[in-house]
Amino acid sequence: MLEIELKASLGGISPQALESALKKAGFAPGQIKEETDIYYNGNDRDFRKTDEALRLRSSRVLTGEVQSKTFITYKGSKVDSRSQTRPELETSVGDLDVMKKLLGKLGYREVMTVRKQRAYYHRENITVCLDEVEGLGRFIELEQVEEDGTAKKEAVIDRLLDLLSSFGIPQSNLLRESYLELLMASATS
């Protein structure tokens, strides 16, 4: 599975204007979640150099019945220079605290925690997220999941760029960096 993903800062666009543009474009509002992501560095290599990521995500659904879930995720390095596309492996984990201790015993060290509130919008196989990230501000993510590999990747990226443009967000707002990278950059600047 490949997730093809674009991210941009909202810049001058208000979240309200964007929400109504999304609805006009046929996107249906989905869940709102509070996500706390703990990122780890490698124990035998530096993930900042290999462009990999190991993450424990604690996700709390705020819409409907409140429920919490934990996931462990591995992300490989980005596969092209235009998008944030990476191979990804993710599964649920029963107990966050036990998994944190287990990773600690294996030698993984926490490097950063990213907290955000994320509102989901869906249209067919495209998901749009409006994110408010603690310490960073507001962002939009557009994601299309392709089960059958990289064949149509360039076409999908063009389609997502058109969509972004139709929301009034210029390509100059695009960001290749993850929230983790942006937070680490702002912490050291």
Query: For binding to a copy of itself (CB under 8 A), which residues are involved?
Result: 42-45, 52, 54, 72, 74, 76, 89-95, 98-99, 101-102, 105-107
CB of 98 to a copy of itself, least distance (A): 4
* Nearest to a copy of itself of 148, 162 (CB atom): 148
- Catalytic, 74? Answer no
Q: Which CA distances in Å does 93 have to 24, 71, 78, 86, 114? A: 37, 5, 25, 22, 19
To the nearest whole angstrom, how small is the minimum distance from the Cβ of residue 150 to a copy of itself?
Answer: 18
> CA-to-CA distance for 30 and 90, rounded, in angstroms?
21
Contact by Cβ (8 Å): 15, 169: no
Length of the chain (residues): 189
Q: Closer CB to a copy of itself, residue 72 or residue 126?
A: 72
Task: Supply the minimum distance, in Å, between the C-beta of residue 107 and a copy of itself.
Answer: 6
Whether 15 contacts 130, CB under 8 Å? yes
Q: What residue type is assigned to position 103 of the chain?
A: L
Give the C-alpha separation, 122 to 30, whole Å: 7
Strand partners, 35: 59, 116
Residue 104 makes CB contacts below 8 A (sequence gap 6+) with none
- Smallest separation (angstroms) from a copy of itself to the CB of 74: 5
Catalytic residue among 39, 108, 121, 179: 39
Nearer to a copy of itself, 106 or 187 (CB): 106
Q: Which helix (H) or strand (E) segment is 138 a member of?
A: strand 137-146
Task: Give the residue with the Cβ less far from a copy of itself, 74 or 120.
Answer: 74
Q: So which residues are the catalytic ones?
A: 39
